[in-house]
Amino acid sequence: MRVTKGARLTAGAALLALALAACGNSASSGGGTASGDLPVRMELGEPQKLFHPGDTTESEGAEVLAAVFAPLVGYDENKQAVDEVAESIESKDNRVWTVSLKPGYTWHDGAKLTAQNYVDAWNYAANQDNAQSANGFFSRIDGWADLNPGEGKTVSTKEMKGLKVVDESTFRVTLSKPFSQFKTMLGYTAFYPLPKVAFGADGRITEEYARKPIGQGYFQFDKPFNKGTDQSIDLTRYDRFPGKKPKFTKLQFKLYTSSETAFNDLAAGNLDIHDSLPPSAIARAKSEFGERYLDQADAGVAYIGFPMQYNKTYANVKVREAISMAIDRETIADKVFSGTRAPADDFINPLLDGYRAGACAVCVYDPLKAGEQYTANNGPKTLELGYNSDGPHKEWIEAVANSLRANLGVEVKVKPFEKFAGILDELDEKTYGGMFRMGWAIDYPSAENYLTPLFSTIAIKTGSNYAGWSNQEFDALLAKGDSARTQEEGLKFYQQADDILIREMPYIPVYFYRTNGAFSQNVKGVKIDLLNQIKWTEVEKAG
Amino acid sequence: MSRYILRRLIQAIPVLLGATLLIYAIVFALPGDPIAALAGEKRMDPDIVDVLREQYHLNDPFLVQYWHYIVGLLGGDFGTTFAGVGVGDIMAGKFQVTINLAVTALVMEAVIGVGLGLYAALRHGGAGDSLILAATLVLISVPVLVTGFVLQLLLGVRLKQAGIDLFPVAGVSEGWRGYLLPGFVLAGTSIAYLTRLTRNSLVEIMRTDYIRTAVAKGLPRSRVVGRHALRNALIPLITYLGADLGALMGGAVITETIFNLPGIGQQLFSSVYLREQPVVVGIVTVLVLIYILANLVVDLLYAVLDPRIRYE
């Protein structure tokens, strides 16, 4: 092939055009913010799915929805549920709850918020045909079983009989059994309402809605979110919001795949708030941000779990206690996590009512006693410890293994799994019989949330009771707590249930999480609430 | 010529089909349940899992699943992810970022690599030559992870704190400037290889008889180097660049993550992790197509550079 000058010129021009097109494209896909009204820029990980309350059970999506929706209840300084959108939430017997709404709330498209919106949303989320991940949160409502007849069976109704609209701003919720913590539960993402426009002709939530959810909160979406392409979610204040509004008008969530990168962006002044600093950034954040570095308690707990249901190796509680006492929690919290964790001493997190400092006596590091007790009770000569390698777990699991080797004189095999689901699969199939790491973040701030989903007998099937541990006395105390007349009375029973956990040690609590963040000089008043969300009403632009 | 191109393109069809089947089978064979992976560390209600499995044909045997996929593909439908987003949409967005990054890197490789190589070859044995050789050795031996973080901290953070805003730390929202640093980091090793490749092949060519003849004829040096030597030296370079394009597009996971660029590499990584067959197969198919086209272009360029090569 001979090439003439003309052909070469076109080839060159085509290449140049390609390069220019590439540049042009990148410039136009930018966030595009007006210079006059700079947004407050908040760090966010990639949301797992598009947005609708019933299917958003992960933290990143929930963070966005919390800015766009207003919850029925919020939580005050004393960790108590206080009415927000709700005017009142009342019950005489903890079984039939009447919820009435404050007047004045509207959807971002101008429509009025009604009681029917709540009933629609909850019925939708509770229906197994819609495969919503928050489905289980509605299981306490009377009629939930009708919407969840089981695998392969058809759902004959679209409504739970326990949900009734009384009038435009009131609805009644009947539970199948009394539950004293019901009001506290209502602050969770799953309990947000949905407007009529969310549903398509087929009765399902439309993709259009899930890309640009219309809420009734203080921020609204500027434009539909293109998942996988967009690197920011831009929100503007909704000025018809009747409650307390944020003091700034624009909020931008910037999506990052690496929290280290986000921290560098914060340091360079391209980001305002980062609330999940990696341990590697802590030292730098402390020295560079000073007053603007955040370090506060978080409601999460990390455990080492035992496969109680079928592996008899761990059946002796004295052996489990010895393992617990052999773990040097202080060192793990201070050295492995650079102080971003706190040693655990109860099954209930210190952030919540019901926590008792030092409740778990065998959570205190006592290598001598641990060794003696382990030998005296013929503890197994080899132990196995599993963890998922897709999270920041390797270092602390290795540290636990080292503690056990040194203090119990045993062989410890550390087994990495690709992800947590792999551990669960092998536990289900009984092909893995070792100890495993486990973590828990709360869905709603109640001591009960550390107990029922993790250790109750029914949670073996539907919840997160991966140990398969079952104790009738424990279940009975939970039931008493659920049906108690007041929160305080309920708490007493929950604490008694907690005592059983401490006595039996189906899991070993290892550390409590902490939240570590930092913010730029552009903002002030950054506070993080119980559910790990920024209180946008407190944040102000500085200067 | 056009018949040659046509033949090459027709040959590509079975390759593409084979690639989809192979990748589909590999992702299928990976252990772990995609629906369980979706639930993170909480266990999903078994009834919900069942509905989802049904929805995504996960209960069908392998060949039936593959058949569903291919039928959809022929109708222009790349399928949907488990999060309910169209794979076609995802790929369109990600490929745009990746192409920008790959083109930036490729241009840097070509300009810096060939430029340095040319300089080193012409100053063969001099101080500049030695310096360039040493510098490329360093560039080859330092992993991308290190260059990425160090350059980001020095040029992205520290320089900005000093008041010079040249290189953004992260993201496509900064426009084309956001691609400069990651483009360089991604191109790093290739720049080093290209420099050495250019230098060595030029040094060799400059010693050949026809160059000596050209010099003896009294041609100006620029013409001897530019037209006679460099043109011949370009053949191995183009082979290298063509092969590198694929690596730049599919293998930029680390660079994309450090600089927060939502590209193909990252997507591929997370989709393999989540067992999202449609995404993995879709991306790999397009990557295979790009490889095939890049190879074809390289082959055609041989003919342009060396008149002795003809395709009939």
Predicted confidence (pLDDT) per residue in B156-205, tens digit: 888 888 888 778 887 766 778 888 899 999 998 899 999 999 999 999 99
Contact, A160 vs A121, CB < 8 A?
Answer: no
Return the residue of B nearest to A420 by Cα: B41
CA nearest A253: which of A237, A230, A269?
A: A230
Q: Is B112 in contact with B185 (CB distance < 8 Å)? A: no
Contact call for residues A455 and A474 (beta carbons, < 8 A): yes
- B310, A152: Cβ pair inside 8 Å? no
Helix (H) or strand (E) segment spanning residue A219: strand A219-221
pLDDT in tens, A245-286: 999 999 999 999 888 889 999 998 889 999 988 888 888 999
Q: What is the pLDDT of residues B5-50, one digit of tens each?
A: 898 889 888 988 888 889 888 888 887 777 766 666 666 777 777 7
In terms of CA atoms, which chain A residue is nearest residue B178?
Answer: A26
* Mutation for testing the A interface, residue in B47, B151, B152 having most A CBs under 10 Å: B47
Tell me which residues of chain B, numbers 265 to 284, contact chain A at a CB-CB cutoff of 8 Å: 266-267, 273
Provide, as residue numbers in chain A, all residues whose Cβ is less than 8 Å from the Cβ of B290.
none
Among positive and negative, which fits the CA dihedral B21, B27, B29, B34? negative
ipTM: 0.80
Task: Show Cβ contacts of residue A490 under 8 Å, excluding neighbours closer than 6 positions.
Answer: A180, A181, A448, A481, A482, A484
Judged by CB atoms closer than 8 Å, whether chains meet at A30 and B303 is answered as no
Round the average pLDDT of chain A to a whole number and report it.
87
Lowest mean pLDDT among A88-92, A372-376, B235-239, B246-250: B246-250
Q: What is the pLDDT of residue B27?
A: 84
Query: Cβ contacts of residue A223 below 8 Å, gap of 6+?
Result: A212, A234
Model pLDDT, residue A500: 95
CB A295 within 8 Å of CB A516: yes
A390: Cβ contacts below 8 Å, ≥ 6 apart: A418, A419, A420, B273
Contacts of B46 in chain A (CB under 8 A): 151, 461
Hey, are the CB atoms on A466 and B43 less than 8 Å from each other? yes
The shortest C-alpha distance from B130 to chain A (Å) reads 33
Asked whether the beta carbons of A43 and A276 are under 8 A apart, the reply is yes
Q: Which among B37, B38, B307 has the least Cβ separation from residue A2? A: B307
Hey, are the CB atoms on A231 and B45 less than 8 Å from each other?
no
Nearest to A25 among B36, B100, B161 (CB): B100
- Partners of residue A48 in chain B, C-beta under 8 Å: 38, 40, 83
Would you tell me which residues 263-322 of chain A have a C-beta closer than 8 angstroms to some C-beta of chain B?
264-265, 267-270
Chain A partners within 8 Å of B258 (Cβ): 258, 260-261
Cross-chain residue pair B46–A461, CB shorter than 8 Å: yes
Query: In the prediction, which pLDDT does B91 show?
Result: 87
Is the pLDDT at A543 greater than 80, yes or no? no
Class (C level, CATH) for B92-275: mainly alpha
Contacting B residues, span 74-103, partner chain A, CB-CB under 8 Å: 83-85, 89-90, 92-94, 96-97, 99-100, 103
- CA B170, CA B259: separation in Å to the nearest integer? 5
CB distance B89–A50 less than 8 Å? no
| 3-class DSSP assignment, residue A317 | helix
Which of B85, B160, B304 minimises the CB distance to A1? B304
**B85 contact partners, CB below 8 Å, separation of at least 6:** A50, A227, A228
| Interfacial A residues in 36-55 facing B (CB < 8 Å) | 46, 48-50
Return the percentage of chain A with pLDDT > 70, whole number: 93
- How would DSSP label each residue in A91-125? ESSSSEEEEEEPTT-B-TTSPBP-HHHHHHHHHHH
What's the distance, Cα to Cα, between the start and end of chain B in Å?
5
Residue A16: per-residue pLDDT? 37
Is residue A1 over pLDDT 80? Answer: no
Residue B304: which of A3, A420, A463 has the nearest Cβ? A3
Residue whose tokens read 């993402």: A189
Of the candidates A261, A55, A80, A87, the one whose C-alpha atom is nearest the C-alpha of residue A167 is A87
Distance from the B92 Cα atom to the nearest Cα atom in chain A, whole angstroms: 8
CB contact (8 A) between residue A464 and residue B43: yes
Q: B103: which chain A residues are within 8 Å (Cβ-Cβ)?
A: 18-19, 22
Please enumerate in sequence order all residues whose Cβ is within 8 A of that of B289, keeping only pairs 6 or more positions apart, or say none: B12, B16
The partner residue sitting opposite B103, judged by closest CB among A22, A57, A439, is A22
Q: Does A260 touch chain B (CB under 8 A)?
A: yes
Contact A420 B170 (CB under 8 A): no
For range B76-101, the mean pLDDT: 83
* Dihedral over Cα of A391, A392, A395, A397: its sign: negative
Measured on CA atoms in the order B73, B94, A47, A253, is the torsion positive or negative? negative
Are B103 and A2 an interchain contact pair (Cβ–Cβ within 8 Å)? no
Is the pLDDT higher at A244 or at B47?
A244
Q: Taking CB atoms and an 8 Å limit, are A136 and B45 in contact across chains?
A: yes
Specify the pLDDT at position B17. Answer: 87
Name the minimum distance, in Å, from the CA of B253 to any CA of chain A.
Answer: 11
- Asked if residues A130 and A147 have their Cβ atoms less than 8 Å apart, the reply is no
Out of B33, B40, B172, closest to residue A58 by CB: B40
Confidence of residue B74 (pLDDT cuts 50, 70, 90): confident
Q: How confident is the model at residue B312 (pLDDT cuts 50, 70, 90)?
A: low
Contact: A50, B83; criterion CB under 8 Å: yes
Q: Which residues of A touch B47 (CB under 8 A)?
A: 128, 148, 150-151
> What's this model's pTM, rounded to 2 decimal places?
0.83
Q: What is the mean pLDDT of residues A216-232?
A: 90
Burial (0-12, 13-18, 19+ Cβ within 10 Å), B6: exposed
Mutation choice for A interface testing from B44, B45, B308 by most A CBs within 10 A: B45
**How many angstroms separate the CA atoms of B214 and A377, rounded?**
92
The tens digit of pLDDT for each residue in A458-506 reads 888 777 888 889 999 999 999 999 988 888 899 999 999 999 999 999 9
Structure-block tokens of residue A68: 């766009």
Helix (H, G, I), strand (E, B) or coil at A419: coil
pLDDT at A20: 37
Residue from B242, B39, B225, B34 nearest B115 by CA: B225
Q: What tokens does B170 get?
A: 């992260």
Tell me the pLDDT tens digit for each residue of A149-201.
887 788 888 899 999 999 999 999 999 999 989 999 999 999 999 999 999 99
The CA distance from A47 to A45, in Å, is 6
Cα gap B303→A225, rounded to integer Å:
47
Contact between chains at A261 and B152 (C-beta distance less than 8 A)? yes
Indicate yes or no: CB of B258 within 8 angstroms of CB of A462. Answer: no
**Burial of B60 (C-beta count, 10 Å sphere; 0-12/13-18/19+):** middle
Task: Give the whole-angstrom CA distance, residue B192 versus residue B114.
Answer: 10
pLDDT band at A35 (very low <50, low <70, confident <90, very high): very low
Closest to A425 (Cβ–Cβ): which among B36, B83, B259? Answer: B36
Inter-chain CB proximity B257 and A258 less than 8 Å: yes
User: pLDDT at position B37, please?
Assistant: 67
- All residues at 6 or more sequence positions from A189 whose CB lies less than 8 Å from its CB, including other chains: A53, A56, A57, A61, A62, A65, A66, A69, A134
For A219, the token pair is: 């921020």
H runs (alpha helix) in chain B: 2-29, 34-38, 46-55, 62-74, 87-108, 114-122, 127-141, 144-151, 159-161, 180-206, 209-216, 221-223, 230-250, 253-258, 264-274, 277-305
Amino acid A486 reads: T
The alpha-carbon gap from B213 to the nearest alpha carbon of chain A, in Å, equals 24
Task: List the single residue in B with minimal CA-CA distance to A4.
Answer: B304
- Say whether B260 and A27 touch across the interface (CB within 8 A): no
Report whether A108 contacts A122 (CB < 8 A).
Answer: no
Query: pLDDT at position A44, please?
Result: 92
Q: How far apart are CA B18 and CA B150, in angstroms?
A: 41
pLDDT for B131 equals 94
A370: distance to nearest CA of chain B, Å? 31
By Cβ distance, the residue of A207, A228, A270 closest to B90 is A228
Other residues' Cβ atoms within 10 Å of the Cβ of residue B216:
8
Range A83-122 burial, b when 16+ CB lie within 10 A, else e: bbbbeebebeebbbbebbbbeebebbeeeebbbebbbbbb
Q: pLDDT for A69-125, tens place per residue? A: 999 999 888 888 899 999 999 999 999 999 999 999 999 999 999 999 999 999 999
Task: Return the structure tokens found at A340.
Answer: 């971003």
Say whether A77 sits in a helix, a strand or coil: coil
Which DSSP string do the residues of B149-164 spell out, in sequence order? HHHIIIIIIIHHHTT-
Which of A143 and A464 is assigned the larger pLDDT?
Answer: A143
**Res. B75 pLDDT band, cuts 50 70 90:** confident
> Would you say residue B216 has pLDDT above 50?
yes
**A390 contacts in B (CB within 8 Å)?**
273
Q: Report yes or no: A29 at the B interface, CB cutoff 8 Å.
A: yes
More confident position, A77 or A456: A456
